[in-house]
Every structure is written in structure tokens, then in C-alpha cells.
Amino acid sequence: MGDVPANANAGCPGVGSTGAGKAAGCAGCPNQGACSTGQAPKPDDDIRLIQDRFSGIKHKILILSGKGGVGKSTVTTSLARALAADTSKQVGNKNDAVIWRGARKNGMIKQFLRDVDWGEVDYLLIDTPPGTSDEHISLVQFLLQAGSLDGAIIVSTPQEVSLLDVRKEVSFCHKTKVPILGVIENMAKFVCPHCNHTSVLFPSTTGKCCYTF
């Protein structure tokens, strides 16, 4: 097997192998084009800049979900508030929609990571869109190449359709070598604001499902 780039997929056959850039494990890898020619991928100057920008951030965590409507943004906000309770530094976030496509969107993600002065913070929680689209692939690749990703938290609800998407998210994390810090099951119970009684809305299934991963 030839040399394996640091940012390669889990199933990378190696740059010097006959299957370089053509094997099933090469699908979606940022080095696929270069490896298919038998040459090692060239270093990306922007990755060094991202490393510099993220040098003051102690922990970088992705918040993922396989589908929309599971409360991922609410979980991200709640987690951020809990973390902010122990520190005087908080990061504000403008919730403006960005409707872009393809390379322009990926370029914007790289520019956002590279050019923003993040300062000195303990945690950066990245609320990602649902699914595993180009944004997720680009974001993970940029951060892993910069050596700046602690892992991911996956948010789900007890319904079977959500569990199917959790399996996809777990598979995505395994293939991209992103550590899974935990899985949060949201919307399974309701706590009455008047008497604090807890009502079970849906049977808890996510925990059992995780044993199969």
C-alpha cells in the first residue's frame, strides 16, 4: 500500500496503489483527483490559515442530525448556554439565510473558517444543516486538515425515521474519521411547566439503537 494522506477517507488504498482514486473508499475524498494521477495531493495554503485562526479555540464540536425538525438548533443553543454559564466569553450568531450552491458555498465555508477572528474561546459549537451534504463534507475536511475538530454530537428523536438518519450520520462520522462524542435523544418526554410532571411522548429507542453501531 502506498502513502495515505492525513485527510484521506477511512478506506484509502494509498496514493501509490493501483486503486488510488478509483477504489470505493475514494468516493468523496478531497484527494481523489490527485491520487488518480499517482501524485500526492499538494498542500492547501488555506489550511494553514485556518489552523492559525482556530489556535485560540480549545474545543471544536459539530452538532449533527440526519433530518430536520429534531431540535438540533435548540440543543446547540441550550448546550452553548450551559457552557457559557462557566465562562465570561460568548460568541454571538446571526441567523441569516445564505442561499448558495456548489463551489460558491464551499468557498464561503473555507473563507468563514479562514478569515474570521475567533479570538480566545473554550468551545465553538457548529450548528450544521440536517443530512450529510457538501457543506458537511467540506467543513469536516477543512477542520480535520487543520487538526481542529474534537468530534460531533448527533441529535435525534425516538421515531424510526429519525433513527434511520442517525445510522447515516454515524456512518458519515466513521468514514470521515470524526469522533462521536454522544447522541442526544430529543422530544421523547414533556415536562409540565406547572407541576413538573414528566409525560412520555414516545418510547425511548435511540439508546438501544446505538448499541448496534
Residue numbers of the domain that contains 35: 1-42
Domains: count for the chain: 2
Residues 29 and 54 placed together within one structural domain of the fold? no
Q: pTM, whole model, 2 decimals? A: 0.63
Residues 119 and 200 placed together within one structural domain of the fold? yes
Residues 99 and 86 placed together within one structural domain of the fold? yes
Residues 74 and 132 placed together within one structural domain of the fold? yes
Helix, strand, or coil (residue 204): coil
CA gyration radius, the chain = 19
Query: Is residue 1 a contact partner of residue 13, using CB atoms and an 8 Å limit?
Result: yes
Residues 37 and 49 placed together within one structural domain of the fold? no
Tens of pLDDT, residue by residue, the chain (213 residues) = 446 666 666 667 776 677 777 777 777 676 677 777 766 666 778 888 888 888 888 888 888 888 788 888 888 888 888 887 765 555 455 555 656 666 777 888 888 888 888 888 888 898 988 888 888 888 898 888 888 789 999 988 887 777 788 888 888 998 888 999 988 888 888 888 899 888 887 777 666 666 566
Residues 65 and 151 placed together within one structural domain of the fold? yes
Half-sphere exposure in the Cβ direction for 173 (13 Å, CA): 25
